[in-house]
């Protein structure tokens, strides 16, 4: 059913998962968004709960039924996601940042709907959003495991290795974006990298719950007290 029935290797473990994609408002009716459905994050939450974890999900604009056995906190923008994730993180043994978090937001948000005229609209000025994963890494508590995702369209392994080092995470899941994998589809393929290890765990194209359990296998093996 959830691929690994009867496994309780995350019993007593607090797991925080971010899922979905953030939306940055432009005016009261428009936003900048991305194609993330939340399926991979929700599959991680459901699989972690089956394996005995206490799970909190910070869900950005996810239109799916709540994952079984999880507490769900709903957010829209990167700022809201940041607040919810940083609020829950101190209690978490494992933080998995599966959400597609916006890198840019509108520099000014119009309070009224922007009307069209005969002229072309003024250019949309963008500004950076905070990097939540970098903030988590900066304030992580001893023993806490951090899992990042990397959505890549070109040279995924090189991009993933660079992000593993730059982000200061323990595990980096490289998500190739393409046909039947990545955003807004029920299947995924991934390469999982672990800090200070040359090994790569390759997960071939599979339902997202199977990919979720492979990621959790790696996480469970890194937890203090895990049998090596
Ligand atoms: N992330 C985050 N806050 C942001 C942007 C990204 O926490 N403002 C997290 C994502 O949830 C993911 C990881 O950082 O776990 C990597 O996201 P990705 O978009 O692949 O990498 P970026 O560092 O944003 O670099 P780029 O988009 O330029 O490749
Ligand atoms: Ca990004």
Could you read off the pLDDT of 125-136 as tens digits, one per residue? 999 999 999 999
pLDDT of residue 175: 87
Distance from Cα 124 to the centre of ligand 1, integer Å: 22
DSSP letter (8 states) at residue 55: E
Residue 112, both tokens: 């009224």
Comparing 6 with 89, the larger pLDDT belongs to 89
ipTM: 0.98
Choice from 84, 101, 177 to test ligand 1 binding pocket (greatest atom count within 8 A of CB): 101
In this predicted model, what pLDDT tens digit does every residue of 200-223 receive, in sequence order?
999 999 999 999 999 999 999 999
pLDDT of residue 227: 53
Residue 2 has a pLDDT of 57
Tell me the per-residue pLDDT of 53-83, one tens digit each, with 9 for 90 and over. Answer: 999 999 999 999 999 999 999 999 999 999 9
Task: Please report where in the chains the tokens 């070109």 appear, as a residue.
Answer: 154
What does the DSSP assignment read for 5-49?
A: TT--TTTT-EEEEEEEB--EEEETTEEE-----SHHHHHHHHHHH
Q: For ligand 1, is residue 129 a contact (CB within 6 Å)?
A: yes
Q: Is 133 in the pocket of ligand 1 (CB under 6 A)?
A: yes
Examine the pLDDT at 1 and tell me if it is beyond 50. no
């Amino acid at each position: 059913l959830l691929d690994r029935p009867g496994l309780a290797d995350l019993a007593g473990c607090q797991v925080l998962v971010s899922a979905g994609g953030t939306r940055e408002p432009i005016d009261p009716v428009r936003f900048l968004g991305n194609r993330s459905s939340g399926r991979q994050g929700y599959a991680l939450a459901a699989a972690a709960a089956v394996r005995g974890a206490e799970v909190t999900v910070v869900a950005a604009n996810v239109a799916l039924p709540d994952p079984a056995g999880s507490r769900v906190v709903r957010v829209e923008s990167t700022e809201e996601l940041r607040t919810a994730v940083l609020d829950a993180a101190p209690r978490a043994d494992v933080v998995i940042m599966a959400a597609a978090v916006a890198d840019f937001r509108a520099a000014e948000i119009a309070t009224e709907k922007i009307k069209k005229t005969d002229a072309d609209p003024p250019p949309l000025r963008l500004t950076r959003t905070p990097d939540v994963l970098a903030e988590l890494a900066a304030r992580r508590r001893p023993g806490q495991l951090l899992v990042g995702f990397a959505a890549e369209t070109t040279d995924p392994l090189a991009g993933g290795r660079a992000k593993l080092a730059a982000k200061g995470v323990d595990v980096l899941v490289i998500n190739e974006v393409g046909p039947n994998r990545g955003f807004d589809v029920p299947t995924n393929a991934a390469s999982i990298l672990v800090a200070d290890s040359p090994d790569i765990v390759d997960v071939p194209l599979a339902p997202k719950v199977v990919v979720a359990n492979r990621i959790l296998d790696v996480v469970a093996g890194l937890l203090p007290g895990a049998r090596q």
